[in-house]
Chain A
Amino acid sequence: MPLLTSLAELNLKKVAMKNKNNGVWIGVEQLQNDPSYLETNKNEFTELPVVDSLSKGGAMDTEASRRDFLKYLGFGLGAATLAASCEVPIKRAVPYVVKPDEIVPGVATYYASSFVQGGDYCPVLVKTREGRPIKIEGNTLSKITKGGTSARAQASVLSLYDTNRLDGPYRVQEGKIQRSADRNERGPSWEDIDGEIMGKLSAGSSIRIVANTIMSPTKKQAFADFKAAYPNTEVVMYDPVSSSAILEANEASFGQSVVPAYHFDKADVIVSFDADFLGTWISPIEFANQYATNRRIKKVKGAKMSRHIQVESHMSLTGSNADNRIMVKPSEQGAAIVALYNAVAANTGSARVSGSKLESGKAGKIQKVADELVSNRGKSLVISGSNNKGEQILINAINEMLGNYGKTLDFNAASMQRQGTDKPVQDLVRAMSAGRVDALFVMDGANPAFDLPNAAKFREAMGKVGLKVSFSMVPNETVALCDYITPTHHYLESWGDVEAKRGQYSLIQPAIAPIFQYAGREGSRQTEESLLRWASYDMMSVMGGSADSTAVSEKTNPYYEKSKEDVGAFIFNYMKQHWQEKMFPQQSGFATFRMFWDSVLHDGVFVVENTGDTPAFSGNVNAAAGMVRKPSNAELEISFFETVNMGGGVYSNNPWLLEMPDPVNRCAWGNYLAIPVGWDGGNEFTSFMGLNPDESKGKADLVEVTIGGTAQRCTVVRQFGQMQGTLALALGYGRTETGMLGRAVGNNVGVDVYPWTSLDENGNVQYYATVDSVSEKVAEENRFACVQYHHSMGLTGEDPETGEEINVDEKTVMTIGEGYQGGLTDRSIIYQGNLEDLEDLSHHIEEKRTEAQKLNSHTLYPYDEYKEEIYDQGHHWSMHIDLNACIGCGACQVACIAENNVPVVGKTEVARHHEMTWLRIDRYFYGDYENPNVVYQPMMCQHCDNAPCENVCPVAATNHSSEGLNQMTYNRCIGTRYCANNCPYKVRRFNWFDYTTADLFGANEYDLNGEEAIPFGADNLTRMVLNPDVTVRSRGVIEKCSFCVQRIQEGKLTAKREQRKLRDQDVKTACQTSCPTGAIVFGDDNDKEGILAERLENPLNYLVLEEINTQSAVRYQARVNNKNEELDA
């Protein structure tokens, strides 16, 4: 933690105050009233020695002549003109008075920590510069995520600098936080608020703590200690996107209310019923990593990969990666699971169960799935995202029959990432309504007034609770109904621990001192500390005998300021004590706790291996089969799903995530009603009710959707892969209280679908519904923030006349007027094939590449000679992207934004295709037009050695380095945009407005979502997230991916300092380090050993648009599917 002010300085300050110099002094002499100083001070203006000495002998006339006057006038005017034409005002820069030991300006420091938000978990390394956390990297020592990250983890650093964060505790009255309009005015003190809250609590108070999943052993210990003082306390854990049924089913089947550990890497056949395990389900970073390891193609002959079958109605991120998708309506999920159970049971000689029936066509497919599973016994995995207890029990039974327990899933390292159940929170609502709850504490992240299916009821019940306290960092819907808000720290300011899986611990350590405390505010305080203070916990007991921090005050303790700096000292000691008691004894590697602690703090992770057999399955499958969902006869059903960026709604004040397009529908800033797409057999694609006819022109329709009697207005998006007769809409949007007045960028973005969710007989939340009606278009959406329309590359369908399979893209490539966004299949952008035809694919790629290279050799400027002379000499940077490993999760996109200070532009601007992302993930559909496959293609500057952008720039603002980098010289750029036009990959971005508020003109500073106060990015707090190694671009300038040139430079400097050659993987780009599946590898082409060299040998590699001779530096590896053709029939 940086020391912002040193103690010595403070003492001097106090002396200065005594001298009544208004706090201003020059040097120690003045402070000490040194006589020599007083003497010189008295005569300060009496001498003019320079003039005196010069004018000796009359050599200088000190009077100004008319000529002099004119000279000065001219100079003055000239200087004023020059000064006035300076472009950018310099903002404050404060140097260190005393440099902290651990900080070297210009050199980043990394701290191991963990990103935790409810059940989201990612062990991370926090990159700090000059004391500011600016970037999140994955922790490669973690056995869970293996260095991968998610978009949420990447964006979490921005939340630290959220201008909506509360700078201290506040009272809340009538939905308003009692905060002075004057931001400089200090709010109530912690002592005041503590006193008021404690005054309202008595030993017998019935206290309920509402939280999302808590994985912290220390926090749970703190709850226990709190409970010691207030015995009538209960912790109610729930999750906004619930996995309640899994916990209940495992309780029923194995007597353990946990989520088992899954091993997707060990499964050859993966069947997922609506579980988005690559995007949002339980532990997506971990699962994505496992999934990709079993799907990597290293050689063409004898290549192997897992087969992934997804059963769903909506195209989820996971479904989009699947080899086969079987489309069933949300209400048919139960029937499908029963069908699979019976099919597997028939194959393995178990008894059948009777439950909901699936329609025969689909049942046939399920039968084939069962055959596959049975022939891969012990090497398969069946999961379901369902929140129906019966269905989950059947899933357990299926895995049991297939002998998967102990192989592809087990309970030894069971996941703790979902602990919330749905019943207790409903009990709480009832208890609150009945007036049986005296005090309600809502943990940070939990927002029951928004995300419960019966949130309205909860809000009403809040009125009957005597004391309501929220620990949220930022305002939200629940805070508005509380009496007090006692904000906790951001995780980057906190001490904490995580047990994400049984025996797999990691630590959270602060990477910055709590920000607001140092800005002269009351500041935030960690939840644990607040609770224990209210419980009058004996804080001395863990403070190692230091002064009782509760008694410390300015008057009695001269070190008051200093000890405030050690906020967290208590919680740090408290946690350490807990670790000494609980975790230290579990290991044997370290003799002393000190060594153990230092090691864990350094590594960030600590693992205790658990071994043991899976308990026997004891579920009642017949009863379970009776509990499954009943297929509905409704014409139209809708499913509600979680997106990778918004979660259950907790991230909806983070502009990086708001602006991250959903990987599948490629829309940002809102949730969009996905409607199915059909084909008329002729020249046109059709859509549900003919909606969105002009989507390709950026126009979308607004419709009224009525579900359960309530109607809401939704923006429509056409969605390939959406089952006919179903719709889908994302959860977590439509929040109304995401921040302070005038600063809340997340307010009213999208539609709140929680009121449309329901509870089933077991009290579990159901994320689907039958749709009463969808109106015709009621209005036009004028801000349709979609960055890519439904592009396809080789969709097939049946010719209605001949019955043969034909290419629908080419058939529907466009019709007059409408112009559908179909693509021509022959473009050398995407190559994909099936596992069995891998050799054909490899030949096809080879053929196309040979042809392209032959074309390229017909040139007056032979590239090979040039390459030999220049690029083969030193470094030649290049990249490899494995399209088979890329799942489209978007972590790289957010990582790139964080690393490169890429501006956020807001919904209106995204709708105008003004988004600034340097790295985007293109998505193309192929295969059957109703049930297509998807390929994701991360697309960034290709760093062409024969770059079309470079030769067209009239001022040479973009040019090529001898290491093959395509470079931008921002202050040379005059903004003709010719380079952007001539870029075949369309990766260049223009600063249409002053998105970064770096410009001279104030008029074009842009707000993101109608916020009235200072524009996003202009606030000094927000600007702390900027990476000082990367220039902030002002308006009128083109920018693009630089291959993280600042990281290359850093790597080269490190190597130089260490007097060695740069090694492979010394330099990793931000996208590479963020990727959970290792799809991206960056490196030096001239380095013939190492990971990149190995990847470059793959016969499935190709260059995008190789035939136009750009000599690009990014190699893509073709997408391969392991499709079971029978399932498509």
Chain B
Amino acid sequence: MSAVVSPIREPLVTGGKTYHQITEDICSPTERTPSAAWVLAFIVAVTGLALFVFGVAWTVWQGIGTWDLNRTIGWSWDITNFVWWVGIGHAGTLISAILLLFRQRWRTGVNRAAEAMTIFAVICAGQFPLIHMGRIWLAFFIFPYPNTRGPLWVNFNSPLLWDVFAISTYFTVSLLFWYTGLVPDFATVRDRAKGIRRKIYNFLSFGWTGSAKHWQRWEALSLVLAGLATPLVLSVHTIVSFDFATSVIPGWHTTIFPPYFVAGAIFSGFAMVQTLMIMTRKILKLEDYITLEHIESMNKVILATGTIVGVAYLTELFIAWYSGYVYEQFAFYNRVLGPYYWAYIGMMSCNVLSPQIFWWKRLRRNVFVTFVMSIFVNIGMWFERFVIIATTLSRDYLPSSWSYYVPTWVEIIIFIGSLGLFFTLYLIFVRVAPVVAVAEIKSILKAGGDQYIGPNANKTHQESKEATH
């Protein structure tokens, strides 16, 4: 058939899958012996995790002095990593909740993995505020628990406390959302499993039977959680930005921070989703579910948010000049031309300039380019946080206290180790849960209308089955 095929829409799932094939494709990675690639990746990730544990133990045992922070620069890699990870944790919920509300049906191909990524990223993020205190056993002080000291409450004026609430709320809602989506899929896995696995998945799926009542309640809960999660996507990073925006330090004290941080977070979140999806679809052979369409859509988001971030950077510079305030002017002068100029260049080139290549459709749809770009964006966003935190602190009001900072090996292994923590969790996740939402992807299988027209048209269930085997 050489005639031009013009489906109504590009199919969201390619390869002419049947419902059964979807179940097979997605559930089988949890049932097979892990591939060599997975094993290798897991070893690397766990090694990273071990580094993390060692770095943290060293910090706790020796003290924060093992880091190179000083009297002037009280935060650097620690909080940079924290903000970076929180930012990464934005895409999952955005994809799940906001795109769900906007009826963006392509989201189903990536939402499960993106949500998992969110949860793991927030777990990683949550480590840093605890570690950076040094004496982590006192961390419970930041919770407003009933006590006999007066009672002595936490300081509700402190943005750090808002962080505690914002992040724990975000984590809880994201976790619930994610797990809710997993329940019918766990039931699918259970139905295919035997023995002890069956028991475990039965437990995990809360005895899901697939009755209409179950589906109805499930739909309702998903919608409610989506409604709850949507404002959270915007609030979490807004509140994280308050850590800086409410301070008096020039370069931190700016009203532009909330939207700028949220845009940056979505930007980096999508980049991380790209990084993971491109690897996952390759390793787990899920190219039909996570298609070039997905990649292109996400690249569009990256282009848009990257440009927003770029505008924000330029606005900051303009306002610093326009304000006529010497300290602000100096802070930005220092950012661009000071001793950390290379971090600024890194930030600008990775975040603002490089995503501009996505104006070209060919590059948007190029898997390799996308992968490289996603790494670039993540580096750029890490630099952005470093520039905001360390560069700003290193030279503030009183020149007498200006200082310089380079990380120690402890700080470096904690950061690398946090990547290990993240990937360990993610690799376990791909082994135990369906990486794509089975129940949801089935709902969009025929959304493109390609079952009626084109190479996939009119295939019977039987034919498809034979084609697979």
Using CB atoms and an 8 Å cutoff, list the residues of chain A in contact with chain B.
696-698, 788-789, 791, 793, 813-819, 821-824, 826-827, 829, 909, 912-915, 920, 922-924, 937, 939, 948, 951-956, 972, 974-978, 980-982, 984-986, 988-994, 1001, 1003-1004, 1035-1036, 1104-1105, 1108, 1110
Task: Tell whether, in the assembled complex, residue B401 and residue A978 are in contact, meaning their CB atoms are under 8 Å apart.
Answer: no
Contact with A along B190-228 (1 / 0, CB 8 A): 000000000000000000000000000000000000000
Would you call B294 an interface residue if the criterion is a C-beta within 8 Å of the partner chain's C-beta atoms? no
Q: What CA separation (Å) do A987 and B400 show in the bound complex?
A: 11
A797 CB to nearest chain B CB (Å): 18
Name the A residues within 8 Å of B246 (CB-CB): 951-952
In the assembled complex, the Cα of A1030 lies from the Cα of B243 at a distance in Å of 32
Answer yes or no: B255 CB below 8 A from chain A CBs.
no
Instruction: Digitize B46-66: 1 where CB-to-A-CB distance is under 8 Å, 0 elsewhere.
Output: 000000000000000111110
Beyond A791-B402, A982-B247, A993-B65, 12 extra complex contacts between A and B, CB < 8 Å: A819-B338, A954-B164, A955-B142, A975-B133, A977-B75, A977-B132, A978-B158, A984-B249, A986-B397, A990-B69, A990-B71, A1105-B397
- Central interface residue in B68, B138, B249, B401, by most chain A CB within 10 Å: B401
Are B341 and A816 in contact, with the CB atoms below 8 A? yes
Whether B74 sits at the interface, judged by CB under 8 Å, is yes
Of the stretches B85-93, B149-157, B262-270, the one at the interface is B149-157
Q: Of A817, A978, A1036, which is within 8 A of B160 by CB?
A: A978
User: Given the interface contacts A789-B402, A954-B164, does A992 sit within 8 Å of B64 by beta carbon?
Assistant: yes
Cα distance, A920 to B247, chains bound together (Å): 24
- Decide if A977 touches B400 in the complex (CB within 8 Å): no
Residues of chain A within 8 A (CB-CB) of B330 are 813, 824
Interface of A is mostly: loop
In the complex, chain A residues whose CB is within 8 Å of the CB of B74: 977-978, 980-981, 990
**CB <8 Å contact, A1036 and B71:** no
A1003 vs B57: C-alpha distance when bound (angstroms): 12
Q: Assess whether B334 is interfacial by the CB under 8 Å rule.
A: yes
- Assembly CA distance A698 to B68 (angstroms): 12
Decide if B154 touches A791 in the complex (CB within 8 Å): no
Query: Which 4 interchain pairs have the tightest Cβ spacing?
Result: A992-B65, A913-B70, A977-B74, A922-B400
Interface residue ranges of B125-171 to A (CB < 8 Å): 129, 132-135, 138-139, 141-142, 152-155, 157-161, 164
**Pair B398/A951 contact, Cβ less than 8 Å:** no
Asked if residues B65 and A698 are in contact (CB atoms below 8 Å), the reply is no
Closest to B246 in A: A952
Residues in A neighbouring B159, C-beta threshold 8 A: 952
Contacts A827-B326, A1004-B65 known; A813 to B155 CB distance under 8 Å? no
**Do the beta carbons of A952 and B62 come within 8 Å of each other?**
no
The count of chain B contact residues (Cβ–Cβ below 8 Å) is: 56
Q: Out of A821, A827, A953, A1105, name the residue touching B155 (CB < 8 Å).
A: A953
Tell which of B72, B133, B142 touches A913, judged by Cβ atoms closer than 8 Å: B72
* Cα distance, A815 to B334, chains bound together (Å): 10
Contact status A992-B339, CB under 8 Å:
no
Interface residues of B (CB under 8 A from A): 61-65, 68-72, 74-75, 129, 132-135, 138-139, 141-142, 152-155, 157-161, 164, 243, 246-249, 326-327, 329-330, 333-334, 337-339, 341, 393, 396-404
In this complex, which of B134, B157, B326 has the most chain A Cβ atoms within 10 angstroms of its Cβ?
Answer: B134
> Smallest Cβ distance from A698 to chain B, in angstroms?
5
State which of A922, A990, A1108 has its C-beta within 8 Å of the C-beta of B248.
A1108
Give the residues in chain B near A789, CB-CB below 8 Å. Answer: 402
Cβ A993 vs Cβ B63 within 8 A:
yes
Given the known inter-chain contacts A975-B134, A990-B74, please indicate yes or no for A814 contacting B158, CB distance below 8 A.
Answer: no
A951-B158, A984-B248, A992-B65 given as contacts; is B338 within 8 A of A814 (CB)? yes
Query: Complex Cα distance A926/B71, Å?
Result: 25
A918 to chain B, nearest CB (A): 11
Residues in chain B near residue A974, CB distance under 8 A: 133, 135, 138-139, 141-142
Output the nearest chain B residue to A1035 by Cβ-Cβ distance: B63
CB distance from B196 to the nearest CB of A (A): 34
Instruction: Quote the shortest CB–CB distance from B179 to chain A (angstroms).
Output: 29
A1035 and B134 in contact (CB under 8 A), knowing A915-B71, A984-B397? yes
The answer to whether residues A698 and B403 also contact, given A914-B65, A954-B142, A975-B135 and a CB cut-off of 8 A, is yes
Q: Which residues of B contact A914 (CB under 8 A)?
A: 65, 70-71
Q: State in angstroms the CA–CA spacing of A829 and B330 once bound together.
A: 15
Across-interface contacts of A1104 in B (CB, < 8 A)? 398
CB of A829 within 8 A of CB of B160, answer no
A1088 to B139, CA, bound (A): 46
Sample (29) of A-B pairs whose CB atoms are under 8 Å apart: A696-B402, A789-B402, A817-B339, A817-B341, A819-B338, A824-B326, A827-B326, A827-B397, A912-B65, A920-B400, A948-B247, A952-B158, A954-B161, A956-B152, A956-B155, A972-B141, A974-B133, A975-B133, A975-B134, A977-B132, A978-B74, A981-B249, A982-B248, A986-B72, A986-B398, A989-B71, A1001-B62, A1004-B63, A1105-B397
Chain A residue nearest in CB terms to B135: A1036
Give the shortest distance, in Å, between B259 (CB) and chain A (any CB): 22
Task: Across the interface, name the chain A residue whose C-beta is closest to B340.
Answer: A819
Q: CA separation between A1001 and B66, bound complex, in Å?
A: 14
Closest beta carbon of chain B to A940's beta carbon, Å: 12
Interface centre among A788, A813, A986, A1105 (most CB of B within 10 A): A986
Contact A1003 B247 (CB under 8 A): no
Known A819-B338, A952-B247, A981-B247: A994·B63 in contact at CB below 8 Å: yes
Nearest-neighbour CB distance to chain B for A934, whole angstroms, equals 12
Chain B residue nearest to A666 in the complex (CB): B400
CB closest residue in chain A, given B68: A912
How far apart are A790's CB and chain B's nearest CB, in angstroms? 10
Q: Whole-angstrom distance from the CB of B394 to the nearest CB of chain A? A: 10
Q: A829-B398, A912-B70, A986-B398 are in contact. Are A814 and B62 (CB under 8 A)?
A: no
Tell me the bound Cα distance from A937 to B399 in angstroms: 12
Q: Do A821 and B397 touch (CB < 8 A)?
A: no
Is A924 within 8 A of B399, CB to CB?
A: yes
Contacts of A822 in B (CB 8 A): 399
Q: Which of A818, A827, A913, A1001 has the most CB of B within 10 A?
A: A913
**Contacts A814-B333, A824-B326; is A1001 near B399 (CB within 8 Å)?**
no
Q: Which residues of chain A come closer than 8 Å to B75, judged between CB atoms?
A: 977-978, 981
User: Roughly how many angstroms separate A834 CA and B72 CA in the complex, as a whole number?
Assistant: 33
A793 to B341, CA, bound (A): 23
| B62 touching A993, Cβ below 8 Å | yes
Closest to B74 in A: A977
Separation in Å of the B181 CB from the closest CB of chain A?
34
Contact B397 A985 (CB under 8 A): yes
Closest beta carbon of chain A to B73's beta carbon, Å? 8
Give the residue name and chain of the B residue nearest to A952 (CB): B158
Question: Are B341 and A913 in contact, CB atoms less than 8 angstroms apart?
Answer: no
Complex Cα gap A816–B393 (Å)? 18
Task: Kindly list chain A residues whose C-beta atoms are within 8 Å of the C-beta of B161.
Answer: 954
A-side contacts of B65, CB under 8 Å: 909, 912, 914, 992-993, 1004, 1035
Roughly how many angstroms separate A989 CA and B64 CA in the complex, as a whole number? Answer: 13
Chain A CB within 10 A, most for which of B61, B63, B142 = B63
Cβ contacts under 8 Å, B154 to chain A: 954-956
Query: Known contacts being A827-B327, A981-B74, A986-B401, is A951 close to B157, with CB within 8 Å?
Result: yes
Whether B334 contacts A976 by the Cβ 8 Å rule is: no
Contacts of A920 on B, CB cut-off 8 Å? 400
Q: How far apart are A819's CB and chain B's nearest CB, in angstroms?
A: 4
Say which residue of B68, B132, B157, B396 sits within 8 Å of A976 (CB atoms).
B132
A1036 pairs with B400, CB closer than 8 A: no
Shortest beta-carbon distance from A316 to chain B in Å: 20
Q: Is the CB of B396 within 8 A of A956?
A: no
Is the beta-carbon distance between A1036 and B133 smaller than 8 angstroms? Answer: yes
- B386 to chain A: closest CB distance in Å? 15
Could you tell me the distance between the alpha carbons of A818 and B404 in the complex, rounded to whole angstroms?
12
Chain A residues contacting B134 (CB-CB under 8 Å) are 975, 1035-1036
B397 to chain A, nearest CB (A): 5
Q: Determine the residue in chain A with the shortest Cβ distance to B401.
A: A986
What is the CA–CA distance of A698 and B129 in the complex, to the nearest angstrom?
28
